[in-house]
Amino acid sequence: MNRQPDLTFKHNLKNGRHGWLRLTPAYSIKVVEQLLDRVPDVTHVLDPFSGSGTTGLVCAERGIDSTLVEINPFLVWLAGVKTANYTSDDLLKTLSIGNEISHRVKSQQHGHFWTPPISNIERWWSGESLRMLGGIHGEIDKLDPNPAKNLLLVAFCRLVIETSNAAFNHQSMSFKDASVQQLSFEEMRPHRFLELVEEITRSAEYPLATPVEIICADSRQIPTPTSTLYDCVITSPPYPNRMSYIRELRPYMYWLGFLNEAREAGELDWQAIGGTWGIATSRLQQWQADDVQIPGFQTMLQQIQQSSPLLANYVHRYFVDIATHLTNLKPTLADGARLFYVIGNAKFYDTLVPSEQIYAHLLAELGFLDIGIEKLRKRNSKKELFEYVVTATMPD
């Protein structure tokens, strides 16, 4: 089996709204489309780990009702912007203001501009980039809340990451060589903002057939549906591999005011399933829980513990949280509801964590039927690591 990049976030990058902001753990729209094709009569889809909103956007494009649940407020905002309908006036206003901001910032290269309270911010952006980003941010910040402002902020986030020295190709944060900079301020950057505004405005033109409900909530406590029960779940939870959303989202969250200090990032990661950023790591060292009754689970944890008690606690807590999620998910599902969980396995030292088998066992223990495990693709890492689709059916 090959790596099939068309089943990852890479496929989304050139697909309209789906490509507005890269989120590495996101799955491809092709995965959601293929799963929806298997349940043609579905009426209301739930994604309890909705991330950047891929599931909801595909459902909206197809005219299927959907509800997204996400604990990160920035991702809730982003999914809302991606799945909104925009009038021609909204789009013309976005282009007009974007053009004004681009020209205004180009002529105001000096002076003091606000920058977010990121530690060692100079590692992230050069002084020249910070002046430009601060200028654009200041202009957008003056606007009253409206659809055009949201679209401008998406373009701004794209510019934030394009001009950054940060690299996200490993669990640990790394930075590119700061001496290798992009084109100069005068040559490209304010103009690039306008290019991004134009790109995002074009992709926001097409109308979505169905609105999307987006809820900021903890997936361990799924809110009761406001109308009918869900008849399908399509989701991709965080994998048990310490790859936190927070590490990749921090630049956006600081610039847009969702974070104001490092401790807040750690607190949010502690609330999220699978998070180990900042304070979450130190809390894991003291974390304790009752045993998860899964064959071979304790043996697996003991093997990991020989090399790292911290990582053993991490894996333990992850599956305790998933068990809680699945238990509290069940009352929200209609009889016969179909479940699709896209999940990757993991490996710590010499111990394989068979996530797909553990998910299948937890579902079986809760009484779900027709449980299956399908290998989806090879991942870009150790040879034993794959992505799977774990399927199940809610009993009648």
pLDDT for 248 equals: 83
CATH class of 5-84+208-393: alpha beta
Cα–Cα distance measured from residue 208 to residue 210, given in angstroms and rounded to the nearest whole number:
6
* Eight-class DSSP state of 339: E
pLDDT for 384 equals: 86
pLDDT for 382 equals: 72
Write the CA distances from 117 to 243, 246, 251, 255, 378, integer angstroms: 23, 16, 10, 9, 39
pLDDT for 187 equals: 46
Write the CA distances from 68 to 24, 90, 321, integer angstroms: 19, 25, 19
pLDDT for 166 equals: 79
pLDDT for 110 equals: 59
Write the CA distances from 50 to 61, 91, 105, 343, integer angstroms: 16, 26, 35, 14
> Which residues of the chain are modeled with pLDDT < 70?
1-15, 24-26, 107-111, 168-173, 177-190, 290-292, 380-381
Model confidence over 232-254: pLDDT tens digits? 999 999 999 877 778 889 999 99
Write the CA distances from 328 to 219, 332, 365, integer angstroms: 9, 8, 14
pLDDT for 344 equals: 92
DSSP structure string for 52-93: TTHHHHHHHHHT-EEEEEES-HHHHHHHHHHT----HHHHHH
pLDDT for 362 equals: 95
pLDDT for 109 equals: 61
pLDDT for 213 equals: 97
CB contact at 8 A, 17 and 44:
no
pLDDT for 242 equals: 75
Model confidence over 143-184: pLDDT tens digits? 999 999 999 999 999 999 989 887 765 545 577 765 554 444
| Residue ranges per structural domain of the chain | 5-84+208-393, 88-203
Write the CA distances from 349 to 303, 315, 384, integer angstroms: 9, 13, 12
DSSP structure string for 299-339: HHHHHHHHH-HHHHHHHHHHHHHHHHHHHHHGGGEEEEEEE
Torsion of CA 320, 326, 332, 335, to 10 degrees: -160
Residue 241's identity, in one-letter code, is: N
| Sequence-separated (6 or more) residues with CB below 8 Å from residue 72 | 245, 246, 249, 268, 272
pLDDT for 294 equals: 79
Cα–Cα distance measured from residue 283 to residue 305, given in angstroms and rounded to the nearest whole number:
16
pTM for the predicted model, two decimal places: 0.92
Q: To 10 degrees, what angle do helices 147-162 and 127-141 make?
A: 170
pLDDT for 191 equals: 84
CB contact at 8 A, 11 and 32:
no
